[in-house]
Structure 1
């Protein structure tokens, strides 16, 4: 059987409706394995999204895919939720994969020296994405308790953005119903979050149904007025493209978010409260470095300037507020950006954590840059996180 087809068949089982089914199926899939994947200990990834935010993978499927690509470790990182972590941890034990658990969220910069600044959030100034890494099992319930009401607040904004999508699309014969089209493709009922990607995924499915895969590229350019690159045209003109909806979603995210976006306010925890919460949960709070972008690795971010011009001041603020780490993605930035960032991490005593932001079936779990000696320590750091969480169990 073709390797891709074999993986897709496994994913059907590993994306079953319940965690119990998924975990049982993982044991069956691994038990029927004829050949184990080649192990690649030089790689690690601590930023894998699951269906509890937005991803083609359940926590169990994410573990399977990480192992299938040769990883010995894997890290979960969902938006506003850590509901998938228990399943992720159990799947890791079944598969013999070291696990580290975390979640990401947005925090208000009000009250800090970065108030009002545009940092690592492409859509809104004054709000920063933050990563809560290395959460022990004892911290899961606390984080879910705090972020539950914030997820509800986020859905109030999601409904407004759905209305904005409809204002843009009704003339094209497309409308979204948040309760019927968006919520069912999320894990909101099970403690997960609903993100902009869910809205745009639901929209992408509607576009595909309206235009058909053969005419999708034509519809996007002629009806929506979005200029596609030759690569995008090729992807969105191929009915056999297995990543079709994710490729269309990437285009929608890059081109439409600024038109439909509603500023986040009440759903964003204050920076000081987040620092305190991470400490209470026994986690390591990290700032996810974005850096000025030229070519987005995920294909859904436009070229833009972010925190590079005032990076020294940012590190001063992080130290002042009690942030203990920085997380970054070597594939996304230049060698010069990475060298500068690493030097600042060492100067300020920040833990360095790596991870490639996986939320599409087209993406690999592996960041090849980790083979560079400049990043070898990031794999060692991952094992330290895993051991840290084991001690806390």
Structure 2
């Protein structure tokens, strides 16, 4: 896996696509297609992920998917590579962009909705972007990515103030930006900052990361986390460090998002201008985080119907959710409300770590079959609206 990932991650987009052709040409047996599974929420290196757009398509196909959806934060710069990789690999694709919006103009401006880090800010997604509008949409978010970097630098300053005395310091331009695709239209996220910090921690503390976290940072690790920290040669090691940092340290160093945010009504206008479906990303109350980077916390479940009513007022078209992240009771409630308020339903597994599976096993259940059908409807809509 490491060799293929390296080959499909290096070089330019064209280099990666050429490498994909070579890998497929040498294939002796095609992976089995598992038509009962879909995934419309795959992050790539244009936000934070182990995978380039080309690699994301290859690994989705290797997992058995014959559809795949790209979904990067504040960027859609990887979309054309993703589409072309899909054509080469025989995988039907759909493209989108995820961002955070301000809910200050709504009744939920002082509530944690679906964002663990900040009240009154919600994750939203634009799904099914017509291909002729890729550049237009990315241009809208270009100045917002710049504004986000101003905040990212403040987070780096806070990290240095917090751990600098332990001999670990970060430089935004030299440590953080190089682990991102910012130079080619991608975004820099908090995960990039934490990944850069993870690299410094792994380099400096090596086999003694448990001691570093517990005795120097005062972070109590679970037995699962301790076991992960005792495997520094693991492919997952840096992502496991990142998961610990994201669920603990980020609260101490986080700087609230402000100027980089569109309002929900502004994003609704953008969706209509570019022909995308505006989607609310359901999170639900968290008990045990699947990805290991979210602490137990209450979110929108207690007021979800009122929230859906407001989303309808804001011209939201759909709700996207991940069946592997929630209880059946949560999912039944969401599906029921989607039907009641006529929201299109979209499913995807939030891929941003090498530990995560491209497959959501819950989709095999009959009650989720409509999510597979919805994916094909989403792809058809996107292709019908695309002029290039």
- Pairwise same-fold verdict (TM > 0.5): yes
> Superposition RMSD on alpha carbons, in Å?
0.8
Q: Is the 8 A contact 1:73 1:98 kept in 2?
A: yes
Which residue in 1 is equivalent to 2:178?
Answer: 184
Offset at residue 115 of structure 1 (A): 2.6
Other structure's SS at 2:155 match: helix
Q: Structure 1 CA distance, aligned partners of 2:232 and 2:159?
A: 25
Offset at residue 339 of structure 1 (A): 0.5
Pair 1:136-2:136 in alignment: no
Match of 1:314 among 286, 299, 307: 307
Which residue in 1 is equivalent to 2:119?
Answer: 125
Offset at residue 60 of structure 1 (A): 0.2
Offset at residue 70 of structure 1 (A): 0.4
Which residue in 2 is equivalent to 1:116?
Answer: 110
Which residue in 2 is equivalent to 1:4?
Answer: none
Offset at residue 113 of structure 1 (A): 2.9
Pair 1:25-2:19 in alignment: yes
Alignment of 1:263-274 (within 5 A): 263-274=256-267
Structure 1 residue ranges without an equivalent (≥5) = 1-6
Match of 2:378 among 375, 378, 385: 385
Q: Is the 8 A contact 1:114 1:317 kept in 2?
A: no
Q: Is the 8 A contact 1:80 1:151 kept in 2?
A: yes
Which residue in 2 is equivalent to 1:328?
Answer: 321
- Number of aligned residue pairs: 386
Offset at residue 144 of structure 1 (A): 0.8
Other structure's SS at 1:143 match: helix
Pair 1:259-2:258 in alignment: no
Q: Structure 2 CA distance, aligned partners of 1:239 and 1:315?
A: 44
Q: Normalising by structure 2, what TM-score?
A: 0.98
Pair 1:374-2:367 in alignment: yes
Match of 1:244 among 237, 242, 248: 237
Offset at residue 135 of structure 1 (A): 0.7
Q: Normalising by structure 1, what TM-score?
A: 0.97
Q: Is the 8 A contact 1:22 1:60 kept in 2?
A: yes
Q: Structure 2 CA distance, aligned partners of 1:88 and 1:140?
A: 12
Which residue in 2 is equivalent to 1:170?
Answer: 164
Q: Is the 8 A contact 1:250 1:299 kept in 2?
A: yes
Deviations 1:40-73 (A, max 9, x none): 1100011100000000000000000000000010
Alignment of 1:1-393 (within 5 A): 7-212=1-206, 214-393=207-386
Other structure's SS at 1:157 match: helix
Q: Structure 2 CA distance, aligned partners of 1:239 and 1:271?
A: 42
Other structure's SS at 1:210 match: helix
Deviations 1:54-101 (A, max 9, x none): 000000000000000000100000000000001000000000001010
Other structure's SS at 2:11 match: coil
Q: Is the 8 A contact 1:161 1:262 kept in 2?
A: yes
Offset at residue 182 of structure 1 (A): 0.3
Offset at residue 17 of structure 1 (A): 2.1
Offset at residue 391 of structure 1 (A): 1.1
Q: Structure 1 CA distance, aligned partners of 2:217 and 2:103?
A: 35
Q: Structure 2 CA distance, aligned partners of 1:110 and 1:283?
A: 23
Other structure's SS at 2:248 match: helix
Which residue in 2 is equivalent to 1:3?
Answer: none
